[in-house]
Amino acid sequence: MTPSSDRQAPLRILIGTLALFALWEYVGHTTEWGRFILPPPDRILAQFWTDRELYWLHGLSTLRSAGLGFLIGTAAALLAAFVFCLSPALELAFRGLNIAIFAMPAIVIGPLLVIFFQGNWPQIILAALMVYFPAMSTCLLGLKEVDPRLADLVAVYGGGPGKLMRHVRLRGALPSLLAGLRVAAPLAVLGAVLGEFGSGARWGFGTFLLAALPQGIPARLWGIGIATSLIALAGFVAFLLPARRLASSTSAVTMAAARPTLPSPGDRWRVWTLALVAAVLPFALWSLGLWLTGINPIVAPGPLRTLDFVLDGGWRDLFAALGQTLPMAGLGLLAGLAFAFVLAALSILAPTLARALLPVAMVLQNMPLVALVPFVVLMFGRGVTASVFMAVLVVFFPAYVLLNQGFSTIPRAANDLVQVYGGGRMKQLVHVAIPYSISYLFAAARLVAPQALLGVMVAEWLLSGIGLGNLLNMARARLDYEMVWAGAVVSIVISVAVYEIVGALERRVRV
């Protein structure tokens, strides 16, 4: 792309955005969709002005919960990433707990947090839990992806792990960390909003949205969704700008001489021991937490009681629900990853088009899932398509951020080599971008697998009335906490299994 086309790209994007708003305004005023699904921008702004005081009060509460949750989750994530980088054995031992934290279904955990905490802490804790794993995993990925030649150089000059961490790993991890924070910032807002649904809080966009749903005012629903998206988008942009400045000032010159080393066959016994610890540790901490807090076992049954409930007949309902949920989650995961790959690939094949589509993608990603429910029902009904669509929404954007980060770290010399031999952008994508970014491809798949299950469960909770999401919602209404905890554990176990399957596939591919 020439410098003149680079300068004209923002103008083309602005013209395209204005044309889109003009089309939206026309459709909103002249079609039935405008009355029931897609109100025009001027009607949304008019409703926003009428509700401006409510937006201020609800928005401050959500922003406060999301911001504090983001800070707590990020601090814990950075500390954990440094420790796990220095001690791979500790990382493997805590793998089960880390994935369990991320895979906990928010629509189930949120109401349970209300029982244990007061004030805004349920929203804050849920936001922190949703932030922790993306920030930790991406930071750890950046800390680990070190050119072995740089490690050898530090060792030659007498530097140990501390010097390597300070002079190589920390600086090399900044791009990946900023990519993780771009994913985590919108998730903090989503966590705060989902936490407000079952908390009974007076203020917050989650509370505002639940109150607006029965009123049937599309302009208000769109206003709440857009306002929440803008908060999430502000967090995304806050980490996008320094990432772009870092990318423009530093870039890899050559490709790494070797791939990261994999465990040797002689270490298999140690790996299996640590894997067993990783499987047992979450249940041990679960039992210890209940023992320390003295919570009534009726509200918070322990692992053994939950297992007894499952074996005593609860497995029938769980298996029947999973038979409906898992196929839709799998389809949503594959479709979301495919869309993410296409959008990331466009950053190489058609950069201007990718920049034009990115704002639309960000708005869709940052729109609260519950705010989209009325429109999803009107567009797709309450069947399989609606559930898969919800899963795609929560999957594709985090995956895109990681894939795009991987493509952006390609050394310039590699692309120049393709161009010298007459290869175009497609050759760069196939022969350079994809092989070089293989770790980011698998990291994206691991990161979004639990999110696909969450998207389908939210759809089942609010739309279809079937599957695991509906089962847990009905159990919560009946105060059947054994089923609630059993469903949460099952969803976590499935997410951990998918995570490990993707990891095994990555190890096979990279051998």
Asked which of 15-19, 78-82, 338-342, 443-447 is least confident by mean pLDDT, the reply is 15-19
Instruction: Quickly list H helices, 213-249.
Output: 218-249
Most confident of the following: 140-149, 196-205, 285-294: 285-294
Report how far apart, in Å, the C-alpha atoms of 83 and of each of 59, 106, 128, 257, 433 are.
36, 27, 19, 26, 30
Quick check: helix, strand or coil at residue 301? Answer: coil
Give dist(CA 272, CA 269) in Å, integer: 5
Average pLDDT, the chain: 76
Question: Domains of the chain, with CATH numbers?
Answer: 51-250 (1.10.3720.10), 296-511 (1.10.3720.10)
Placement of tokens 């897609």 in the chain: 38
Q: What is the pLDDT of residue 262?
A: 47
Give dist(CA 481, CA 386) in Å, integer: 28
pLDDT band at residue 378 using 50, 70 and 90 as cut-offs = low
Amino acid occupying residue 51: D
Question: Terminal CA-to-CA distance of the chain, rounded, Å?
Answer: 36
How far is residue 485 CA from its own chain's centroid? 23
Query: Which region, left, alpha or beta, applies to residue 267 given φ > 0 means left and ψ of -120 to 50 means alpha?
Result: alpha
Computed on alpha carbons and rounded to an integer, the radius of gyration of the chain in Å comes to 24
Mean pLDDT calculated for residue range 433-454: 78
Question: Between residues 18 and 265, which one has the greater pLDDT?
Answer: 18
φ, ψ of residue 260 to 5 degrees: the values are -60, 145
Question: Between residues 370 and 503, which one has the greater pLDDT?
Answer: 503
Q: What is the pLDDT of residue 149?
A: 67
Mean pLDDT calculated for residue range 481-495: 83
Asked which of 68-77, 143-152, 218-227 is least confident by mean pLDDT, the reply is 143-152
Mean pLDDT calculated for residue range 236-241: 80
Under 8 Å between Cβ of 128 and 204:
no
Give dist(CA 483, CA 485) in Å, integer: 5
pLDDT band at residue 251 using 50, 70 and 90 as cut-offs = low
Q: Mind listing the pLDDT tens digit for each residue in 186-211?
A: 888 888 887 777 666 778 887 787 77
Amino acid occupying residue 337: L
pLDDT band at residue 369 using 50, 70 and 90 as cut-offs = low
Q: Mind listing the pLDDT tens digit for each residue in 119-137?
A: 788 888 888 988 898 888 8
Q: What is the pLDDT of residue 70?
A: 93
- Does the pLDDT at position 289 exceed 60? yes
How far is residue 129 CA from its own chain's centroid? 11
How far is residue 454 CA from its own chain's centroid? 10
Give dist(CA 507, CA 247) in Å, integer: 29
Give dist(CA 460, CA 322) in Å, integer: 12
| Extended beta strands in 231-308, E state | none
Q: Mind listing the pLDDT tens digit for each residue in 8-66?
A: 555 666 676 677 778 877 777 777 766 666 788 888 888 888 888 888 888 888 889 99
Q: What is the pLDDT of residue 1?
A: 45
Under 8 Å between Cβ of 175 and 250:
no
Give dist(CA 365, CA 394) in Å, integer: 6
pLDDT band at residue 447 using 50, 70 and 90 as cut-offs = confident
Question: Between residues 243 and 236, which one has the greater pLDDT?
Answer: 236
Question: Between residues 353 and 444, which one has the greater pLDDT?
Answer: 444
Nearest to 414 by CA among 397, 396, 394, 434: 434
- Does the pLDDT at position 75 exceed 90? yes
Helix (H), strand (E) counts: the chain: 25, 0
Q: What is the pLDDT of residue 73?
A: 92
Nearest to 191 by CA among 369, 3, 335: 369
Asked which of 264-278, 337-351, 373-387, 402-416 is least confident by mean pLDDT, the reply is 264-278
Q: Is pTM, for the whole model, over 0.85?
A: no
pLDDT band at residue 255 using 50, 70 and 90 as cut-offs = very low
Amino acid occupying residue 503: G
